[in-house]
Structure 1
């Protein structure tokens, strides 16, 4: 079985991804905030042209870290008190399949399947056949190894492809869904058009994704008390999900993050780790904190659910 660490996983993957977000690709230890959040129109257009490359480089880098830290399911989920995060994720995936109107025997498309964690849960629960699509080759290799291990290789398959150019015939799926993926499409309208093309008339399409709320305006509401895993709230982790998850949340606790950063800076100084590691840690830390803070303020949700259906007739 393929390891969760890809062959050749090393500094080159880190450099390749970070180089997309600096005006000096030879020095990715100095990321330009303007190139990330305030890029020029020309910079944005150039990066958009390479959207598949940027996304694939990102997942080459972070997928092993995601699997090591959080498991095979790369999405947010409602937390069930007293239940582990993994169990909460599985319970949500089963509920999601119900909301998505998935039935036994259906041919279903999973857009942005990752390494296939949700697809395996849904296929084994519902009895439908799922084709997952991702633009990352490692997702396919790792995902199919895990699918075979689970004995589901006859029900779940993963292919490499592009949301904007789906490699499937017209009207070839009974249903489609996506979990935290379509927000990364460079042209959402083109993506939805392709999904409509490959669905049969009347077929359901369901997805949950990142979304800003009506409270998005700056300082619209004061931060709410209470938080969750990405905020590194170890008291919450102690009380709520279960002991195995405490250590996952502990790694996101601010004091631990500061300590880990000091250790890595020492290792970098001693030449035992590449300098780029510091940039990667900062990038992932600030992204995670932004999700937590946005959720606490009520201006953002990582799992806004949409339930749609392709018209049964052409004029609908």
Structure 2
């Protein structure tokens, strides 16, 4: 079975990704805030044009880290009292399948499937067949190995492809869903047109995605916020170490250790840039949740018109 860490997982993956976010590719050891926050129209257009390449380079780099630190499910979740984050994720995926109107025997499309964590939960719970699509080749390789390990390779199949050009015939699916994926598309309207094309008349489509909101729900954000007290108080030990690694004092200590390793030549200088980038991402998500202005779990259910009616 494919390991969660790809062969030759090395500096080239780090360089490929960071090169998309700097104006000085010769020095990737410094976070280029201007290139990220104050990008020109031309720079933004170039990233949109290469969106599949940018996204694939990102997931080549972070997927093994996500799986190692967070598990096979790459999404946020409503928290169930008494359950760990992982248990809450699984419980939510089962509820999400009900919200999405998924039934036994259906042919279902998962848009942005990652390494197939939610698809495996849903397929084994509902008894439907799921086809997942991702723009990252490693997702397909790793996810296919995990499907086989779980004995679900006859129910869950993963493909590499593009949201904007789905490689499937018209009206070939009974339902479709997406979990924290469509917000990354450069042209959501085109994605929706493609989803409509491949769904059968009357078929449901459900997505769970990022949204700005006036009032966010319960504190889903304690994980990325590094709130170790909340982690200990609610589910106990299952979450503590996972959340501890997000705790600011731990992060600061780890940063100092990596700085020393960089100084000694044990790790490349660019690792510091990557740590800063990911830290700002998680901190921003948690801050938005605390202020009640952001949620990663906006759920919308729709249905393709039946009988040719628009």
TM-score scaled by structure 2?
Answer: 0.97
Structure 1: distance between partners of 2:307 and 2:40 = 43
Report the alpha carbon displacement of residue 225 of structure 1 after superposing the two structures with TM.
9.3
1:1-316 correspondence to structure 2 within 5 Å? 1-214=1-214, 228-316=222-310
Local SS of the residue matching 2:24: coil
Structure 2: distance between partners of 1:97 and 1:130 = 12
Local SS of the residue matching 1:210: strand
Q: Is the 8 A contact 2:168 2:198 kept in 1?
A: yes
The answer for the alignment partner of 1:219 in structure 2 is: none
Structure 2: distance between partners of 1:315 and 1:104 = 27
Structure 2: distance between partners of 1:184 and 1:226 = 21
Q: Which runs of 4+ in 1 moved over 2 A?
A: 224-227, 313-316
Q: Is the 8 A contact 2:78 2:220 kept in 1?
A: no
Check 1:35–1:150 CA distance in 2 against 1; reply closer, same or farther (3 A cut). same
CA RMSD of aligned residues (A): 1.5
Report the alpha carbon displacement of residue 150 of structure 1 after superposing the two structures with TM.
0.4
Q: Give a deviation string over 1:224-244, Cα, whole Å, max 9, x none.
A: 999611100111111112312
Query: Which residues of structure 1 form unaligned runs of 5+?
Result: 217-223
Report the alpha carbon displacement of residue 181 of structure 1 after superposing the two structures with TM.
0.2
Structure 1: distance between partners of 2:289 and 2:214 = 13
Report the alpha carbon displacement of residue 208 of structure 1 after superposing the two structures with TM.
0.5
Q: Give a deviation string over 1:269-304, Cα, whole Å, max 9, x none.
A: 000000000000000011001100100101100110
Structure 2: distance between partners of 1:304 and 1:117 = 19
Local SS of the residue matching 2:176: strand
Q: Is the 8 A contact 1:175 1:199 kept in 2?
A: yes
Q: Is the 8 A contact 1:129 1:156 kept in 2?
A: yes
Structure 2: distance between partners of 1:147 and 1:2 = 11
Structure 1: distance between partners of 2:22 and 2:137 = 25
Q: Is the 8 A contact 1:4 1:64 kept in 2?
A: yes
Query: Which residues of structure 2 form unaligned runs of 5+?
Result: none
Structure 1: distance between partners of 2:46 and 2:197 = 28
Structure 1: distance between partners of 2:253 and 2:30 = 21
The answer for the alignment partner of 1:220 in structure 2 is: none
Aligned length: 309
Report the alpha carbon displacement of residue 129 of structure 1 after superposing the two structures with TM.
0.1
Report the alpha carbon displacement of residue 37 of structure 1 after superposing the two structures with TM.
2.0
Report the alpha carbon displacement of residue 315 of structure 1 after superposing the two structures with TM.
2.8
Structure 2: distance between partners of 1:272 and 1:81 = 42
Structure 1: distance between partners of 2:309 and 2:120 = 36
TM-score scaled by structure 1?
Answer: 0.95
